[in-house]
Amino acid sequence: MLKRTLIFVLFLCFHNSLCKGDFIIEVRDGQMTPGGLGFVDVLLRSQSDTAVNGFSLLFEISTSPSGGVLEFQDSFSSMSTPQQSDSERTFSSMDYSYIFLGKVQLGDFSATRTAGNNRRLTASDFATEDVPITAGTNYLLARMELQHIAPMSESGPTNYSISLVNDPINNGILNTGAFDVNYSLSTSGTVTVTAVPEPACFTSIGILVYALFGSSRRRRR
């Protein structure tokens, strides 16, 4: 699979036109099987040291002519609105950790699909205090859970585009509780849905390789 990365560049300038640095949001590559479940991580990094204490971003998945449908899944139902799980809030690894790890409280997290449109998801969370962001360091911003709910009508891989919706009024990143800064540029990326070969297919490949190998040995003799 061709690895492609979705990058959104958020140009953030704050009080008195003092530019705090450019935020880059990166949606990692994803691969799923037809009718299966999966997820993609969304990372954030800054080109200069700054601080963040909240965000709200609206994502959308494109349609595909293949006959398959990729959409955001609902992982559980709360008392009010069904939404995705908040597993990212406790995630930590050698590569990156959740941006507000250890600085969150119950009720501030939200990852909900748009009513009537399961291909749109708004992800938001808020920290209990300003969280320092070190330039060049990756932070986990969101883990978007996906589901492929219809079979593909073609045998080859199918690509779905995920992008930030151009909504500067509702999208933004919060700094020091006072400056709500909206993104100014976004581009789209790809999640690939492709079938896994059946065991019989692997057997056929093995027989073919064995036959070719035997033929090659006989020619050398």
Residue of 108, 112, 138 whose CA lies nearest to 125? 108
Amino acid 161: pLDDT: 87
Q: How far apart are CA 70 and CA 31, in angstroms?
A: 12
Ramachandran bin of 89, using left for φ above 0, alpha for ψ from -120 to 50, beta for the remaining angles: alpha
pLDDT in tens, 170-202: 677 776 554 455 444 455 667 888 876 655 444
Whether residue 85 has pLDDT greater than 50: yes
- Identify whether the C-beta of residue 90 lies closer than 8 Å to the C-beta of residue 125: no
DSSP-derived 3-state class of residue 136: coil
DSSP one-letter code for 210? H
Residue with tokens 């991580």: 41
Q: What are the structural domains, with CATH classification, of the chain?
A: 6-196 (2.60.40.680)
Beta partners for residue 142, in sequence order? 42
**pLDDT averaged over every residue in the chain:** 75
Q: How far apart are CA 207 and CA 204, in angstroms?
A: 5
In one letter, which amino acid is 64? S
In which band, very low, low, confident or very high, does the pLDDT at 206 lie, cut at 50, 70 and 90?
low
Whether residue 139 has pLDDT greater than 90: yes
Amino acid 195: pLDDT: 75
- Identify whether the C-beta of residue 55 lies closer than 8 Å to the C-beta of residue 173: yes
Q: How far apart are CA 100 and CA 102, in angstroms?
A: 6
Question: Is 33 or 17 the better-scoring residue by pLDDT?
Answer: 33
Percent of the chain with pLDDT over 90: 31
Q: How far apart are CA 121 and CA 144, in angstroms?
A: 8
Amino acid 46: pLDDT: 83
Q: How far apart are CA 89 and CA 20, in angstroms?
A: 25
In which band, very low, low, confident or very high, does the pLDDT at 20 lie, cut at 50, 70 and 90?
very low
In sign, the C-alpha dihedral spanning 190, 146, 41, 140 is: positive
Ramachandran bin of 206, using left for φ above 0, alpha for ψ from -120 to 50, beta for the remaining angles: alpha
Picking from 36-45, 108-117, 127-136, 145-154, which range would have the lowest pLDDT averaged per residue? 145-154
